[in-house]
Amino acid sequence: MNIIMLGAQGTGKGTVAGILSGELGIPQVSTGDIFRKNIKEETELGIKANEYIKNGNLVPDEITVPMVASRLEEDDAKNGVILDGFPRTIAQAEKLDEMLSKKVNKIDLVINLTTPRDEIIERILTRRVCSNQACKATYNIVMNPPKQEGICDKCGAELVQREDDTSEDAIRRRLAIYDEQTSPLVEYYEKKGVLRTEEVSTEANHLGADVAREVIESIKG
């Protein structure tokens, strides 16, 4: 089964994707993780991607698409994936359709998460992630803090704040880019009949774990 997570940064895509991955037995493929791995290893594509990311810009397709295509060829993705952060544009969605069609495959479900803008900004500023790339657990020091400050509950590694999560101006820029370039994907997948939109908000008392549970129930019947 192939699932796409849609929604602006800070809406909880990673949380929902992580729960679905564990329940459905398919990997969570995050472009953010792919970028960070390449940046840390200082690959040619990683160095180029970092120039865009640190300025709050989307990484162009000529860098992103080859990275994702390579990831989808790995053994653990043969039974499906949960894509988090890709596609971000209609052009990328069309490229993804091409990739999957070669495997006689398709997108089965697109989960679109929405959250009030002020709440998104607060979530991102207070987000922390596990520095262990094999773990990748995500926390929020206000809503979902670790048991021990600065330490991952799951693996004991240090929790860090992503470089692109530290500036409110950069966050607002990323959100503006999302509105302009990524939100048209909602209509694209709605026309395909695979879109499911869910609000994730503390005000509505409906969080990522709730969405994941509801999606799993609908899939498993």
CA 86 to centroid of chain Cα atoms: 7
Q: For residue 74, which phi and psi values (nearest 5 degrees)?
A: -70, 155
C-alpha to C-alpha distance for 28 and 26, rounded to whole angstroms: 7
Residues with a catalytic annotation lie at 13, 88, 127, 162, 174
- Kindly report the three-state secondary structure assignment for every residue of the chain: CCEEEECCCCCCHHHHHHHHHHHHCCCEEEHHHHHHHHHHCCCHHHHHHHHHHCCCCCCCHHHHHHHHHHHHCCHHHCCCCEEECCCCCHHHHHHHHHHHHCCCCCCCEEEEEECCHHHHHHHHHCEEEECCCCCCCEEECCCECCCECCECCCCCCEEECCHHHCCHHHHHHHHHHHHHHHCHHHHHHHHCCCEEEEECECCCCECHHHHHHHHHHHHHC
